[in-house]
């Protein structure tokens, strides 16, 4: 009898077979796990590196704004030619200069060695130049007063050419002198008296000259221009006016660029301010300097508005007209600059910026910028007093003549003098403004323009827009998230949450477009209804809730728990419609039919159609999905055992939500709010299209604003690369970067603290 044999697998052999089959899968899963872990790490590190690189690139572009000015000596040599220097000027590329002498010659010479290139005669034979005046600061158009009471109007120039050598193309300059009103001098002073002091202004329709006679009178020569239609030749019709009765010695004479103002000053610092539009009349008399100080130099800053008064104590005081409450202009002392305590002997303003050079008796030269209130540099240029000083048109070189008869030629590196802490963030008293203010106005059509680079109104506008957006978004988003996560029925939540999150996909340019072209006019037309809605909507919802509560229980039970919110949709629509319907009757009854006019007349509040209310609604709509989604996830993720435990201990759902759920979810809720703030601070297109983009500092809800991001978007395409304007825009981007970094960092710190505090719940 044969025994049946049965093969039984041992446990050890079964495990070995299973393990051998599972090993490749486990290895593949472990490989994917390692790849995912390293991919996430690489991505996170890449994000950090990208942010750090952005930060350092912004610093790289912004850093030159704060590089101090520097200078270097290029050459020093004796005066080319003979005679007293009346005018010293440098051509734009600083390769050649011109020196007008009292002997009536224009001597053109090389700036690097003083070699004379050409000498041209300017005045009739036997005549001498006794005074000179420029049409504007840096202008080559000059008035040359002669010793016989006449004035020559001349203009020098440098004709640029190129000489073709065998290897390089060499730039050549050919000096020129032309006479816009003819070579024959203009008669100005009677009886052949020498022109001791001269001032000149030139406009499209007239030439204005002012000079001092030998007996201390001031003569105004107004030459009206007549242009021939055929030959385009200009003829002048002269009208002379004499201002006498001066009780000061007219040692300095200046005309305003508006051809309406005349300033006459004496060495003791007394200044007479005249209105010369029509019959001259004295407007005011004032003292330019303090007690014990003497006036040693008086010039105008570029633009012809500000006076720069140099004193024997080494100070330069800036004055300019300020409008008072009666719309009258009065010269006002605005700011003061100090050199080294020695008398100021020469002042030269820059041609294209609000900077100026100052020379003193000790041979020092100081470089300043008026708007930024900066002393940029001080150099010991000569060993003897400075007699003449001039800037190149590009302000990259300057030339100085000392009393020993030597010229000193220096190069300057001073790219961004307009920038200082006070100019960026403080109140600045700009020309034409009645008081110091925060102003952003980066460009103008004129070179005389005073750039206004205050970032304060832009930062204020950024925070203002974010504030009004969060004022609307935070209550709606947080309360909506609480109801959706805690009270809403699951089926309804599955429809509501994705719908709100899809709102985040709407392009902000569309929201801005709708806000600017549709919402703003609607709010303006129905302004009383908008404010009525703030009262009607909450009261109507409370009334509906009370009425719902008073209904029979059987009727209320027909609506499943968590679906009550659906009943509010038609109620809210009806209340909004009612508010807008009563808007016009309310406006007629309470505001005489025009609420905008009532606000302006009764409260002094102006209304801008594209205002903070429009921005708050549009940007709040854009921010709500972000805050809602994060907050709702945080609330919904609160462990159920905490909720059930609270309810089991006798707490009501409301108490459970307030005492347990909200506290546990508070880190996520706070993060949602701070991320929403960061989104609102960095928003560009909505504030760009839904506001007037006016950089004003007004917290009124009826006024617009300009934000940092919108300003960058508007002005960056128009800015010159590497210019001060360009770099300040990058500085605005850096400030915006710091804003968002601060809010996000603060959110993370508070979130971690709240997480540790409530982790035990």
Q: How many CA atoms lie within 13 A of 731 on its CB side?
A: 23
pLDDT for residue 79: 94
pLDDT at 263 over 60: yes
Which stretch of DSSP H or E encloses residue 298? Answer: strand 295-300
pLDDT band at 347 (very low <50, low <70, confident <90, very high): very high
Determine the Cα–Cα distance for residues 534 and 628; give it in Å rounded to an integer.
22
pLDDT for residue 231: 67
DSSP reduced 3-state for 692 = coil
Which of 451, 467, 494 is the last residue in one of the domains? 451
- Residue 657: inside a domain: yes
Residues 689 and 742 in one domain: yes
Residues 517 and 626 in one domain: yes
Domain of 296, CATH number, reads 2.130.10.10
Determine the Cα–Cα distance for residues 580 and 599; give it in Å rounded to an integer.
19
Least confident of 142-146, 335-339, 658-662: 658-662
3-class SS letters over 106-161: EEEEECCCCCEEEEEECCCCCCCEEEEEECCCCCCEEEEEECCCEEEEEEEEEEEE
pLDDT for residue 746: 82
For tokens 């103002």, name the residue: 261
pLDDT at 758 over 80: no
Residues 420 and 476 in one domain: no
> What does the pLDDT look like over 417-475, one tens digit per residue?
999 999 999 999 999 888 999 999 887 756 667 889 999 999 999 999 999 999 999 99
pLDDT for residue 259: 87
- Residue 485: inside a domain: yes
pLDDT band at 6 (very low <50, low <70, confident <90, very high): very low
Determine the Cα–Cα distance for residues 77 and 83; give it in Å rounded to an integer.
16
pLDDT for residue 16: 47
Residues 362 and 462 in one domain: no
Could you list the residue range(s) of the whole structural domain that residue 711 is in?
A: 456-524+610-757
Residues 737 and 680 in one domain: yes
Percent with pLDDT over 70 in the chain: 95
pLDDT band at 118 (very low <50, low <70, confident <90, very high): very high
Residues 652 and 676 in one domain: yes
Q: Say if CB 646 and CB 656 are below 8 A apart.
A: yes
- Residue 359: inside a domain: yes
- Residue 259: inside a domain: no
Determine the Cα–Cα distance for residues 150 and 221; give it in Å rounded to an integer.
11
pLDDT at 559 over 90: no
What mean pLDDT, rounded, does the chain reach? 88
Which of 431, 451, 471 is the last residue in one of the domains? 451
pLDDT at 75 over 80: yes
Residues 491 and 625 in one domain: yes
Q: Say if CB 705 and CB 694 are below 8 A apart.
A: yes
- Residue 8: inside a domain: no
- Residue 658: inside a domain: yes
The pair of three-digit structure tokens given for residue 644, joined into one six-digit string: 């059930």
Please state, in angstroms and as integers, the Cα–Cα distance from residue 433 to each residue in 332, 449, 456, 733, following that order. Answer: 11, 13, 17, 28
Count Cβ neighbours within 10 Å for each residue of 10-48 and write b for 16 or more, e otherwise.
eeeeeeeeeeeeeeeeeeeeeeeeeeeeeeeeeeeeeee
Q: Say if CB 252 and CB 309 are below 8 A apart.
A: no
Domain of 711, CATH number, reads 1.10.3720.10
> What is the arithmetic mean of pLDDT over 545-550?
88
Count the neighbouring beta carbons within 10 Å of the beta carbon of residue 428: 24
| More confidently predicted of 364 and 188 | 364
The pair of three-digit structure tokens given for residue 212, joined into one six-digit string: 């001092």
Residues 461 and 447 in one domain: no
| Cα angle 73, 77, 83; round to 5 | 130
Number of domains composing the chain: 2
Determine the Cα–Cα distance for residues 484 and 633; give it in Å rounded to an integer.
10
| More confidently predicted of 377 and 166 | 377
| Strands of the 315-323 sheet, one edge to the other | 295-300, 307-311, 315-323, 329-338
Residues 418 and 498 in one domain: no
pLDDT band at 165 (very low <50, low <70, confident <90, very high): low
Residues 491 and 440 in one domain: no
- Residue 739: inside a domain: yes
pLDDT at 482 over 70: yes
Determine the Cα–Cα distance for residues 510 and 750; give it in Å rounded to an integer.
34
Phi/psi of residue 535, nearest 5 degrees: -95, -40
Residues 351 and 393 in one domain: yes
> What does the pLDDT look like over 416-426, one tens digit per residue?
999 999 999 99
Task: For the chain, give the longest Cα–Cα distance.
Answer: 163
pLDDT band at 22 (very low <50, low <70, confident <90, very high): low
Please spell the DSSP secondary structure of 346-393, one letter per residue: EEEE-SSSSEEEEEETTSEEEEEETTTTEEEEEEE--SS-EEEEEE-T
In sign, the C-alpha dihedral spanning 391, 70, 436, 739 is: positive
Taking only Cα atoms into account, the Rg of the chain, rounded to an integer number of angstroms, comes to 38
> What does the pLDDT look like over 682-741, one tens digit per residue?
888 899 888 888 888 888 899 889 999 999 999 998 888 989 999 999 999 999 999 888
Exposed, middle or buried by CB within 10 Å (0-12, 13-18, 19+), for 131?
Answer: buried
Which of 426, 451, 476 is the last residue in one of the domains? 451
pLDDT for residue 214: 76
Nearest to 414 by CA among 398, 400, 396, 393: 396
> What is the arithmetic mean of pLDDT over 569-594?
90
- Residue 111: inside a domain: no
> What is the arithmetic mean of pLDDT over 64-69?
93
pLDDT band at 183 (very low <50, low <70, confident <90, very high): confident
Residues 490 and 436 in one domain: no
pLDDT at 150 over 70: yes
Nearest to 301 by CA among 428, 431, 393, 421: 431
Which stretch of DSSP H or E encloses residue 712? Answer: helix 708-715
Count Cβ neighbours within 10 Å for each residue of 65-98 and write b for 16 or more, e otherwise.
beeebebeeeeebebbbebebbbbbbbebbbbbb
> What is the arithmetic mean of pLDDT over 23-51?
89
Determine the Cα–Cα distance for residues 721 and 732; give it in Å rounded to an integer.
15
């Amino acid at each position: 009898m044969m025994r049946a044999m049965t093969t039984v697998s041992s446990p050890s052999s079964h495990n070995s077979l299973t393990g051998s089959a599972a090993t490749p899968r486990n290895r593949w899963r472990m490989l994917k796990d390692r790849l995912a872990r390293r991919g996430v790490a690489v991505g996170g590190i890449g994000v950090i590196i990208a942010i750090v690189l952005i930060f350092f690139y912004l610093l790289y572009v912004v850093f030159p704004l704060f590089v101090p000015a520097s200078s270097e000596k290029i050459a020093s040599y004796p005066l080319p030619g003979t005679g007293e220097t009346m005018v010293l000027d440098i051509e734009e590329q600083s390769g050649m200069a011109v020196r007008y002498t009292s002997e009536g010659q224009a001597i053109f010479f090389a700036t690097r060695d003083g070699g004379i290139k050409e000498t041209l005669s300017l005045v009739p034979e036997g005549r001498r130049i006794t005074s000179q005046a420029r049409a504007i600061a840096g202008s080559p158009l000059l008035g040359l007063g002669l010793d016989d009471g006449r004035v020559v109007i001349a203009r020098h120039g440098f004709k640029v050419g190129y000489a073709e050598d065998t290897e390089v193309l060499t730039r050549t300059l050919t000096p020129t002198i032309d006479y816009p009103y003819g070579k024959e001098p203009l008669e100005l002073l009677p009886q052949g008296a020498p022109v001791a002091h001269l001032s000149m202004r030139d406009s499209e329709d007239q030439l204005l000259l002012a000079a001092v006679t030998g007996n201390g009178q001031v003569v105004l020569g107004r030459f009206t221009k007549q242009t021939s239609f055929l030959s385009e030749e200009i003829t002048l019709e002269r009208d002379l006016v004499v201002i006498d009765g001066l009780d000061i010695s007219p040692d300095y004479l200046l005309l305003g660029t508006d051809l309406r103002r005349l300033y006459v000053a004496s060495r003791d610092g007394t200044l007479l301010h005249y209105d010369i539009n029509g019959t001259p009349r004295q407007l005011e008399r004032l003292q330019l300097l303090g007690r014990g100080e003497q006036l040693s130099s008086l010039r105008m800053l570029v633009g012809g508005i500000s006076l720069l008064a140099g004193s024997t104590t080494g100070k330069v005081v800036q004055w300019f007209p300020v409008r008072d409450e009666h719309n009258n202009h009065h010269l006002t002392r605005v700011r003061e600059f100090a050199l080294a305590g020695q008398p100021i002997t020469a002042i030269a303003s820059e041609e294209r910026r609000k900077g100026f050079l100052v020379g003193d008796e000790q041979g020092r030269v100081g470089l300043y910028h008026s708007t930024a209130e900066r002393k940029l540099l001080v150099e010991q240029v000569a060993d003897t007093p400075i007699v003449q000083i001039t800037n190149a048109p590009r302000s990259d070189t300057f030339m100085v003549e000392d009393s020993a008869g030597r010229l000193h030629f220096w190069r300057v590196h001073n790219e961004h003098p307009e920038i200082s802490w006070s100019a960026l963030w403080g109140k600045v008293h700009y020309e034409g403004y009645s008081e110091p203010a925060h102003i952003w106005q980066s460009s103008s059509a004129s070179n005389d323009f005073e750039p206004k680079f205050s970032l304060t109104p832009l930062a204020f506008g950024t925070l203002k827009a974010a504030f009004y957006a969060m004022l609307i978004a935070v209550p709606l988003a947080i309360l909506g998230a609480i109801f959706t996560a805690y009270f809403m029925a699951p089926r309804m939540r599955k429809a509501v949450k994705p719908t709100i999150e899809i709102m985040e996909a709407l392009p902000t340019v569309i929201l801005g477009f709708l806000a600017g072209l549709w919402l703003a006019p609607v709010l303006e037309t129905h302004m009383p209804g908008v404010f009525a809605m703030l009262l009607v909507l909450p009261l109507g919802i409370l009334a509906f809730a009370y009425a719902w509560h008073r209904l029979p229980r059987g009727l209320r039970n027909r609506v499943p728990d968590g679906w009550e919110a659906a009943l509010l949709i038609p109620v809210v629509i009806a209340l909004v419609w009612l508010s807008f319907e009563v808007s016009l009757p309310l406006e007629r009854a309470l505001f005489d039919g025009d609420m905008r006019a009532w606000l302006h007349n009764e409260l002094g509040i102006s209304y801008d159609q594209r205002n903070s209310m429009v921005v708050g609604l549009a940007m709040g709509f854009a921010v709500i999905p972000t805050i809602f989604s994060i907050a709702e996830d945080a609330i919904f993720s609160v462990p159920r055992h905490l909720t059930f435990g609270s309810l089991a201990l006798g707490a009501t759902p409301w108490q459970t939500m307030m005492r347990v759920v909200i506290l546990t979810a508070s880190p996520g809720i706070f993060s949602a709010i701070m991320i929403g703030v960061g989104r609102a601070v960095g928003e560009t297109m909505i504030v760009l299209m839904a506001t007037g983009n006016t950089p004003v500092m007004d917290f009124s809800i009826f006024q617009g604003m300009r934000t940092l991001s919108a300003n960058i978007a508007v002005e960056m395409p128009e800015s010159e690369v590497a210019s001060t304007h360009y770099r300040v825009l990058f500085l605005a981007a850096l400030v915006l970067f710091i804003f968002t970094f601060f809010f996000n960092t603060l959110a993370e710190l508070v979130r971690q603290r709240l997480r540790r505090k409530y982790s035990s719940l």
